[in-house]
Structure 1
C-alpha cells in the first residue's frame, strides 16, 4: 500500500508538471516583443517540417505552508524523443522529492509505440506496464472527474494554483501518502 500511495503522489505531481507548461503556452508570443515573437514563430514554422525531434527538460516544484507536513520540494529532469513516421514517443523523468526533510528519489519511463503505451514505474511498482492508448484514455476519462479536483484553466492564475494545490492536499489519503514517503 505504501508503494501505491507513493505512485499516486508521483502521478499527481507529474500531471501538474505536465499541465503547467501547456496552460502557460496559450499566449503564443510568450510575452516577447514583436521581433522576438516573429523570430520564434519562424523557428516554429521551420521545425514543423521535421517528423523527428528530441528534447530535454529540468524543473523544480516547491510548495510551502502545508499544514502538518511542512514544505514539499520536487526536482526533476528528463529527456525524450518523438518519431512521427514510426508513431513512437519516449520520455524519461528522474528526480527527487523532499517531504518533511526526507528525500526520496524517483524514476519514470514512458513509451508510446503505435496505439500502445508502456510505462516503467520501477521494480518497486512492478516494472513495465502497458496497454492500449484507447483503453487508457477511457480509463482516465472515467476516473478524471474524481481523481483530481483541479480545473486545468485555473493553472494560469497563481492564486487559483495555490488553491488547487490545497485541494489536492485535502484529497483523502494524500497526506498519508506523502507522509508514507518518509
Structure 2
C-alpha cells in the first residue's frame, strides 16, 4: 500500500495530511493563521522563527512526500511555539497511527481533543485506533462523530460494522442505511445480510 493510500484510509477530514473524503463531502478544513503564532517580538520587528501556520504547511508537505521523520520534527516545532495546537497534535497522532503505534497515536489525538473536544479528524482516527481493543469506546466515538456531522458516511459504515459485531443488528442496519444513503459507493462494503434487496427482485420472488 502506498503512503498516499495510507493517508487516505486513516484520516477523516484531515486538516493537514489528507482530504475530507473519509468523513464527508465537504472540503477539508484548512488551518487558519492563529494569533498565537504572532509574537510581540515579531510585531516589534525583532527577528522570529517561522509562524506555526508556516510550519504546519511545511509539515504537510513533508508528510505528503513520505518524509514522516522530518514532518514529525516540524510538528514538534509547532508545539514548542503553541502547545495546544490541535492540528500539530492531530498530525503527530496520524504519523504514529500510520506506523502502527496505536498508543502514541491515541495519546496525541487526546491532546488534540483537549484543545477542541469536537475536532472530527481526531475523533474519527481515535475511533479507528480503538476498534480492535476497545470496540465499545470506538462505537461511542463514532456516534459522537455522526452527531457532529451527520454526513460522515464512512463513520456510519464503520459504526455499523462494530454494532454488527456486538450483536446490535437493528442499530447496525440503521447505520449501514445511513452510510449508503450518503454514499452509494459504500454499498459493496456492507455485509450481505444488511444489504437492501432491490424492489424488482423482491417482486419477482413474490410472483413465483
Greater per-residue strand proportion: 1
Report which of the two has the higher share of helix.
2
**Larger Rg: 1 or 2?**
2
* TM band (smaller chain): under 0.3
TM normalised by structure 2 equals: 0.23
